[in-house]
Structure 1
């Protein structure tokens, strides 16, 4: 089992908290955006066995440039890379936008999460020898999700399934599991938030398409990249605090 951070936007954090989100998809091809030499080459999305763990990757067929992760492919003879490296059984701690409110005690710290305004108090010494200097943290403003430290995380995901597929192959059921926001139900079925036309709710597949483009930019859905689809369970709690409780 491996622990890794994973970024989520505020709407997706709220979906996790509400119990609406049990899947996430990540574009496997973004890693190669800075390599124009690979443009136009056929790609295969697949899972590779690495140290007994099946991890997601993209393989470039007959590419002129061999790209590799030395950790997972030390020979460097294949044109594939593993961006996230998570496998079934791994734990992911969610990174989100947050900010310190202030010191409640010389070494304690109160923080607030941007997604829903929830407050949390971190006690001095709560995370052992990890020295993260609370007084200095209390002087900072909003902290982007990318820079959330592990001790500030409040959501822990345990990976139960990993698949590699084309983005547009997602099912209606999986679109719902991605956390799209329900709006109304009619005789035709359930309708969800439509980022392309907010006043016109749409069914699950179209709603997820609009969400993907909203997060990743115009045309991201149409490019139909290989993605890794993670299914997970969600627990509210800091990953290290949970480990201490289980010990």
Structure 2
């Protein structure tokens, strides 16, 4: 079992905390090209596993790819795209944005997407062992998620399944598992802000990855997970 960091923005952290998010989609950085394509298994699913023969990537878990050595020869060379998020059974610790309250003598860590984080932004600081300095809330710097150390992680996720698919192949059911389970009440539909989960996911995806990123329809890793630890460090 290996442990790796993974970034989530505040919106997605909230969805995990609420129990609404159990999947994440991340672009496969090396999209197959130059004749390479994903290998398919029974039922047209992409084959994932390990290279066991002599190969520079022997033992790595990922998606198998292949390409024909000579057109029409029926003979192929094989490779694998390693999954940067591990395999089922591995764990991911969540990096999220925090507030640098420790720099001013207050108790941390403080997470921006939490009840206490919102208290801090509204003057709910807890004094630490040292005399707190006089500070205005707007003077407290944010620590970007990319810089959050492992010691501050409060969310630990166990990978339960991994697959590869086209981004636009996401179903309504899977969009809900991505945390896009907008209200389906009659009032919501009447007010006009109701969205089907898949459409809501598309909007979230483009907000994170940029305009046109949905239309690009890249291959993505689909990582399913469950929370195994959600204790806030004291």
* Same fold, TM-score > 0.5, yes or no: yes
* 1:76-87 mapped onto 2 (5 Å cutoff): 80-87=80-87
The residue aligned with 1:49 is: 50
The residue aligned with 2:161 is: 161
The answer as to whether partners of 2:182 and 2:196 remain within 8 angstroms in 1 is no
Q: Matches of 2:159 and 2:204 in 1, distance apart?
A: 22
Q: Matches of 2:51 and 2:33 in 1, distance apart?
A: 27
Q: Matches of 1:146 and 1:181 in 2, distance apart?
A: 27
Taking a change above 3 Å as real, the CA distance of residues 54 and 203 of structure 1, as seen in their structure-2 partners, is: farther
**Residue 117 of structure 1: CA displacement?**
4.7
Q: Matches of 1:58 and 1:115 in 2, distance apart?
A: 38
Taking a change above 3 Å as real, the CA distance of residues 42 and 202 of structure 1, as seen in their structure-2 partners, is: farther
Which of 205, 211, 224 matches 1:231? 224
Equivalenced residue count is 195
**Residue 100 of structure 1: CA displacement?**
2.5
Q: Matches of 1:146 and 1:166 in 2, distance apart?
A: 27
The answer as to whether partners of 1:56 and 1:85 remain within 8 angstroms in 2 is no
Q: Matches of 1:174 and 1:145 in 2, distance apart?
A: 26
Q: Matches of 1:209 and 1:53 in 2, distance apart?
A: 35
The residue aligned with 1:12 is: 12
**Residue 224 of structure 1: CA displacement?**
1.2
| Structure 2 residue 180 is matched with structure 1 residue 200 | no
Secondary structure in 2 aligned to 1:162?
A: strand
Q: Matches of 1:141 and 1:148 in 2, distance apart?
A: 13
Secondary structure in 2 aligned to 1:221?
A: coil
Secondary structure in 2 aligned to 1:183?
A: coil
Taking a change above 3 Å as real, the CA distance of residues 53 and 206 of structure 1, as seen in their structure-2 partners, is: farther
Secondary structure in 2 aligned to 1:102?
A: helix
**Residue 82 of structure 1: CA displacement?**
2.1
Q: Which has the higher strand share?
A: 1
The residue aligned with 2:149 is: 149
State the TM-score, normalized to the length of structure 1: 0.65
Q: Matches of 1:84 and 1:101 in 2, distance apart?
A: 32
Q: Matches of 1:117 and 1:50 in 2, distance apart?
A: 46
Structure 2, unaligned runs of 5 or more? 39-45, 53-57, 70-76, 118-124, 130-138
* 1:173-184 mapped onto 2 (5 Å cutoff): 173-184=173-184
The residue aligned with 2:93 is: 93
Taking a change above 3 Å as real, the CA distance of residues 109 and 42 of structure 1, as seen in their structure-2 partners, is: same
Q: Matches of 1:101 and 1:151 in 2, distance apart?
A: 16
Larger Cα Rg: Structure 1 or Structure 2? 2
The residue aligned with 1:195 is: none
